[in-house]
A and B are shown apart, each in its own frame.
Chain A
Amino acid sequence: MGLFDYFHANRRSAEVAKERLSILIARDQIQRNQPSFLPQLQDELLEVIKKYVDIDQDDISITLDREDDCEILELNIALPEKPRQRQPS
């Protein structure tokens, strides 16, 4: 789609707004219903992993998803490209 099409697309902005909002609010509501221990779990995991690998707060993400009757706790840790292993002191 060219630039011309982009500006002249027949989608009306209110439709776009409604679609974006519906998705956003559904996601907000899932987050709101997450158990409150997740941030603390994330901090504690970070502390443990930091003992061995040099990572930041941003390198860990924890999400909780619901699928039908089962809950999935997803933990993502992005390790640095060249692991700077800490020398045990």
Chain B
Amino acid sequence: MTRIIVITSGKGGVGKTTTSAAFAMGLALEGYKTAVIDFDVGLRNLDLVMGCERRVVYDFVNVINKEARLNQALIRDKRTENLYILPASQTKDKEALTMEGVEAVLGELADTFDYIVCDSPAGIEHGAFMAMYFADEAIVVTNPEISSVRDSDRILGLLASKTKRAAENRSPIKEHLLLTRYSPDRVMKGEMLSVKDIQEILSIPLLGVIPESEAVLTASNQGVPVIANRNSDAGLAYQDCVARFLGEEIEMRFIDPKKKGLLSKFFGSN
């Protein structure tokens, strides 16, 4: 049974695409056949983060408009078996994502894929709405910043009311909170909202916490999802998230400040 996961947030720049790339690759590495779709028509970026931008020939809108077959538009990831990318159109209007068209593509993918990861655009307009409409599960990406938390709350309201599951009165979308750009040091100093604060406000189950990490920018510079970097805190944190998503019980890491050695304490360096 195929599961459709939307990666959403409301606010832009919080890490939806980074998370979509990492999560899709993580699921594929666990052996699940996974497709990741860029819903950000007009501002496609997932292909860049996944490092396949030069292999884009056809896109999501071409498939919807029947200008290309799904198999022609899907890009197979060269590093990971089981992982396929469906890029967004860079030129078309976002209204090109019709409800029937999106449903047909998802339906066709469901024949062969275990997971479909939908990378939502920012905002609450048509593209974001299409990305969430058919979802079974939602990963709400949030920064420890008031505007991001507020937008996430707004998105949770939409997930509960404006999706196919809501329209058909089926069991609601399963919601997961993913906190990104977290700085335990700043939380300890009282400069940043804590995991607990944000969970209290949004009151949905916590999937994981990704620490603020240089590895994220390095990974996107290179076009390699950060989860592939097994030496980075962010990469390990994403691996934990995928494992938790698949039902494993794993303790949260990277939510407490790093313990400093006596020397670095003394000299005050990091």
In the complex the two chains form, is A28's CB within 8 Å of B190's CB? no
**Category for how many chain B residues contact A:** 10 to 19
Nearest CB of A to B101, in Å: 28
CA distance A13 to B191 in the complex (A): 5
Known: A21-B146, A22-B201. A12 touches B153 (CB 8 A): no
Contacts A21-B201, A22-B201, A29-B157; is A14 near B187 (CB within 8 Å)?
A: yes
Q: Is A18 an interface residue (CB 8 A)?
A: yes
Please count the residue pairs between chain A and chain B whose beta carbons lie under 8 angstroms apart in the complex.
38
Is A13's CB under 8 angstroms from B150's CB?
A: no
A12 touches B197 (CB 8 A): no
Check if A78 is an interface residue, CB within 8 A of chain B: no
In chain B, positions 140-167 with a C-beta closer than 8 Å to chain A are: 146, 149-150, 153-154, 157
B220 part of interface (Cβ distance < 8 Å): no
Give CA–CA (A28, B157) in the complex, Å. 10
- Closest residue of chain A to B189, judged by CB? A12
Does the CB pair A21–B150 fall under 8 Å? Answer: yes
Tell me how far the C-beta of A20 lies from the nearest C-beta in chain B, rounded to whole angstroms. Answer: 6
A20 touches B146 (CB 8 A): yes
Which residues from A are CB-within-8-Å of B157?
29, 32
Tell me, yes or no, whether A15 is within 8 Å of chain B by CB: yes
A contacts, CB < 8 Å to B: 12-15, 17-18, 20-22, 24-25, 28-29, 32
Show the binding face of B for A, using Cβ within 8 Å: 146, 149-150, 153-154, 157, 187, 189-194, 197, 201
- Besides A18-B193, A22-B201, 12 more A-B contacts (Cβ < 8 Å) are A13-B190, A13-B191, A14-B187, A14-B194, A17-B146, A18-B197, A18-B201, A25-B201, A28-B150, A28-B154, A29-B153, A29-B157
Pairs across A and B, CB under 8 Å, 29 listed: A12-B189, A12-B190, A13-B190, A14-B190, A14-B191, A14-B192, A14-B193, A15-B190, A17-B146, A17-B197, A18-B193, A18-B197, A20-B146, A21-B146, A21-B149, A21-B150, A21-B193, A22-B201, A24-B150, A25-B149, A25-B150, A25-B153, A25-B201, A28-B150, A28-B153, A28-B154, A29-B153, A29-B157, A32-B157
